[in-house]
A = this chain, B = another copy of it.
Amino acid sequence: MEVQSKFVTLKNQIEGAPQESYFEIKETSLKQISNDEAQLIVKNLYVSIDPYQLNRMKSHSSTHSATKYANQVKLGQAIDAHGVGRVVVCGDERFKEGDLVVGHLGWEEYTLINTSTADGFFRKIESSEFPPSYYLGVLGTSGLTAYAGFFNVCKPKKGDFVFVSAASGSVGNIVGQYAKLFGCYVVGSAGSNDKVDFLKNKLGFDDAFNYKEETDFDSALKRFFPQGIDIYFDNVGGELLEAAIANMNMFGRIAECGVISEYTNKRRSAPNMLDVIYKRIAIQGFLAVDYTHLFQEFMSFTCDQLRNDKIQAIEDISMGLESIPSAFVGLFNGSNVGKKLVQLE
């Protein structure tokens, strides 16, 4: 069997901020599978749109010391990404046609999967309790990133003062909700007054601010944290990281999850290392992939919270393959609230 599949591809490697014109839609055919290999063809229903993909698209990413750890996106080829799909052609007896699956799929209509070489995140969705899209956000890698980052990297104590940047983003919103559930005082930063209202009035953050309306982040954080910050969950880097370190308390912990402000420009964070030393601050870079051993614990806890309406799944869904470039570009303009997804069907 053979299916025609449209896919999003990159025309040029990217410098600075991405533009829609850097992408184009192409079409290919996925061939009928061999009977000798455990292969599936999956029709993609939702694909995940994540800021880190930009680091795979940069012109220097093949040699860059950090981004070499993420495979560079190849010009003209399909771009792999997390997604949820339905098995339409099945060559693995552990699956059947119609199964919902989640894992590394792509910005494309159909994905051919070799199940024997798929990574540990690829699996069947057994339950129909939650919408399939949740498995890309609150029950997917965004959720595991938030869970591992907050509970394992930040080592919270009840009553800790927690600052989350990009707090309305895919990971930030979940970190804030976990932190409130755990009994922390939580302040988030975001890029619009609507997002600030959302964090305070819909997600239960203790406070929030629009960083675009602050001229001095150090003063802003002093205002929102008169008693100092114990935990900073960093999604943005740059000047806000400097201000957070200046306002950290003794033995403060910083989880480095992302530095989106640094993805599109060269203004790196230059924190005061004397603060880091005298206040014994711990700064820890991390990726969810190192915490797969927490996956069952994370799922069990988070499903319970969803059932009891203690956690909300915040999704921002665009429609159609053609909307993927604008959805991706929008991440860097702060367009999304919550997990950015594109629904393909």
Size bracket, chain A contacts = 35 or more
With A and B bound together, what is the CA distance between A281 and B257 in angstroms? 12
Q: Which of A270, A272, A285 is the most central at the interface, judged by chain B CB atoms within 10 Å of its CB?
A: A285
Known: A69-B279, A278-B66. A270 touches B273 (CB 8 A): no
Q: Are B277 and A269 in contact (CB under 8 A)?
A: no
Whether, in the assembled complex, A70 has its beta carbon less than 8 Å from a beta carbon of chain B, the answer is yes
Whether, in the assembled complex, A168 has its beta carbon less than 8 Å from a beta carbon of chain B, the answer is no
Kindly identify which residue among B65, B259, B276, B279 contacts A277, using a CB–CB cutoff of 8 Å.
Answer: B259
Instruction: Specify how many copies of this chain sit in the oligomer.
Output: 2
Return 24 A-B CB contacts under 8 Å, by A number. Answer: A64-B274, A65-B246, A65-B272, A65-B275, A66-B272, A66-B277, A66-B279, A70-B278, A237-B273, A256-B273, A259-B273, A259-B274, A268-B270, A268-B271, A268-B273, A269-B270, A269-B271, A270-B270, A277-B286, A280-B284, A280-B285, A282-B282, A282-B284, A283-B283
With A and B bound together, what is the CA distance between A277 and B66 in angstroms? 8
Whether, in the assembled complex, A146 has its beta carbon less than 8 Å from a beta carbon of chain B, the answer is no
CB distance from A274 to the nearest CB of B (A): 4
With A and B bound together, what is the CA distance between A112 and B263 in angstroms? 57
